Amino acid sequence: MRMDDTICALSTPQGMGAIAMIRISGSDTFPILEKTFKAFSPRHNPSEAKPYSLVFGKMVDGQTIVDEVMVGIFKGPHSYTGEDVAEISCHGSVYIQEQIIRLLLKNGCRMADPGEYTMRAFTAGKMDLSQAEAVADLIESESKAAHQVAMQQMRGGFSDEIKGLRTELINFASLIELELDFGEEDVEFADRTQLSELLLRIKSVISRLLESFDTGNVIKNGVPVAIVGAPNAGKSTLLNALLNEEKAIVTDVAGTTRDAIEDEISLGGVKFRFIDTAGIRETEDLVESIGIKKTFEKIEQSRIVMYLFNAQSLQDNVELIRNEIAQLQEKTKGKTLLVLANKMDLIEDATLLEKLGDVENLIPISALQKRGLKELETRLTSEINLGALNSNQTIVTNARHFSALQQSLEDILRVEQGMENNISGDFLAMDIREALKHLGSIIGEVETDRDILGNIFGKFCIGK
């Protein structure tokens, strides 16, 4: 990726819309516009136009008018990328979009790589690495919670926390390194008691951040919930009732939901990923038994399992239901198992449920008549502790940050151990430097591997 050429890309979605936006960034932005854009008022020539202004004019290819457009003018360093930037808003026709991009390429632009605008912003020091990553999260955010966390990270909340820890550690590292300069003389510039206190504090901050990843992961990727139950218990109907749309296939033939269908729904500001499974009923049918194996895999990957059974079967099949519940209790240790007695609309006497004895988290519902669903939703949302989110604490959502924090915690533990064992200052300094490196990698303050950068920005869409 060359950083000195001028790039262009469509920044609005592919396809036709009312308006499309093509963005140019780089030192040749205005010279290229000189050749391809004519302002309706000559005074508004882009090179001379005021920064943050909009210029009305036409895109021209020689004598041919391609479109009438509005161009937003941003002059470096006061732009997203830190370079000269122009945002051309044209009519949304795919043909026009293509013609304008072709025109820009012909006149010296190169197509931007995915995430290249944000990568340039990072390189120009407009944002640090974790903020750049938050831009991608913000674009992808689908729920209130995901939006809030990405926004906080983009605005630098997380970075500030990491920077604070680093500054304190850097001070200590320099004092210890100063001691080394005095070699033989037995001096101690870095107060060991203070260093211990600092390490304790850093450990507790890192541990809190590491713990937040559990919530962060849920916020970013959604809470996986497996729906398990015999064919015809009403799993698809329940899913549809929750989703309020017909995505899963609902039929009367037993065993039709063979493969797992996933759907997402936002409840209480959090995304839940419902996975409709084939149930766990024992069967001779090969296809179905593969489905059952998959069900167990899905249970494994879930955080919450909803076991759904037809309440009517309590009349003659209590043992079977009890059995399945017991089996699932066994398989869902450490997860939450909700037991849903469905089709309650067909049951005249609700005391029938007593046949099951004491079952934890038993919720009577009617998926068809949408009864008991509010209680179910409340139960689901109460499973997720958003305490950290509500108190505006930093939440780690990014696996790369999580792993860097884990490594820095190990480094800090090594420093602590080293102090206990009275190891020499140069070894202490080395471990502190390692911790600094790992913390710095989160915000990109240490030199970041090109592969890692490629990996981070490659996941962006083109045009961002």
Which positions touch ligand GDP (CB under 6 A)? Answer: 229, 231-237, 250-252, 257, 342-343, 345-346, 366-368
CB of 234 to ligand GDP, least distance (A): 3
- The least distance separating ligand GDP from the CB of residue 235, rounded to whole angstroms, comes to 3
Instruction: Pick between residue 12 and residue 312 the one whose CB is nearest to ligand GDP.
Output: 312
User: Which of 225, 219, 306, 217 lies closest to 271, judged by CA?
Assistant: 219
The answer to the question of whether 236 is labelled as a binding residue is: yes
Tell me how far, at minimum, the Cβ of 217 lies from ligand GDP, in Å: 28
Whether 233 has a binding-site annotation, put simply, is: yes
**Beta carbon nearer to ligand GDP, 26 or 234:** 234
> Would you say 219 or 238 has its CB closer to ligand GDP?
238
User: At 288, which helix (H) or strand (E)?
Assistant: helix 286-301
The verdict on whether residue 464 carries a ligand-binding annotation is yes
Which residue, 250 or 430, is less far from ligand GDP as judged by CB?
250
232 is in an annotated binding site: yes
Q: Is 257 annotated as a binding residue?
A: yes
Give the shortest CB-257-to-ligand GDP separation in angstroms. 5
Q: Is the separation of the CB atoms in 86 and 73 below 8 Å?
A: yes
- Secondary structure (3-state) at 406: helix
DSSP 342-376: E-GGG-S-GGGGGGG-S-TTEEE-BTTTTBSHHHH
Q: Does 237 appear as a known binding residue? A: yes
Cβ(137)–Cβ(396) below 8 Å: no
Distances (CA, A) of 284 to 260, 281, 287, 290, 292: 19, 10, 9, 10, 11
Q: Between residues 113 and 377, which has the closer beta carbon with respect to ligand GDP?
A: 377
Q: Is 252 a known ligand-binding residue?
A: yes
Q: How far is the CB of 314 from ligand GDP (least distance, A)?
A: 14
Tell me the helix, strand and coil percentages in the chain, rounded to 5.
50, 20, 35
CB nearer to ligand GDP: give 82 or 229: 229
Three-state secondary-structure class, residue 263: strand
Closer residue to ligand GDP, CB minimum distance, 48 or 259: 259
3 state SS of 451: helix
**Per the annotation, does 235 bind a ligand?**
yes
Question: Whose structure tokens read 């839940």?
Answer: 272
Extract the tokens encoding 377. Answer: 């939703």
* Shortest distance, position 286 Cβ to ligand GDP, whole Å: 19
Q: Report yes or no: 119 and 1 within 8 Å, Cβ to Cβ.
A: yes
As measured in angstroms, the least distance from the Cβ of 298 to ligand GDP is 14
What is the closest distance, in whole angstroms, from the C-beta atom of residue 338 to ligand GDP in the complex? Answer: 15
Distance CA 216, CA 158 (A): 13
Whether the CB-CB separation of 21 and 3 falls below 8 Å is answered with no
Q: Is 23 annotated as a binding residue?
A: yes
Q: Is 126 assigned a ligand-binding role in the annotation?
A: yes
Flag whether 216 is marked binding.
Answer: no
- Using alpha carbons, list the distances in angstroms from residue 11 to 27, 452, 463: 19, 24, 4
Inter-residue contact 401 to 149 (CB < 8 Å): no
CB-nearer residue toward ligand GDP: 349 or 447 = 349
- Minimal CB distance to ligand GDP: which residue? 234
CA dihedral (205, 208, 209, 210) in degrees, to 10, reads 120
Binding-site entries: 23, 87, 126, 232-237, 251-257, 276-279, 464
Cite the annotated binding site for K(+) by residue number: 232, 251, 253, 256
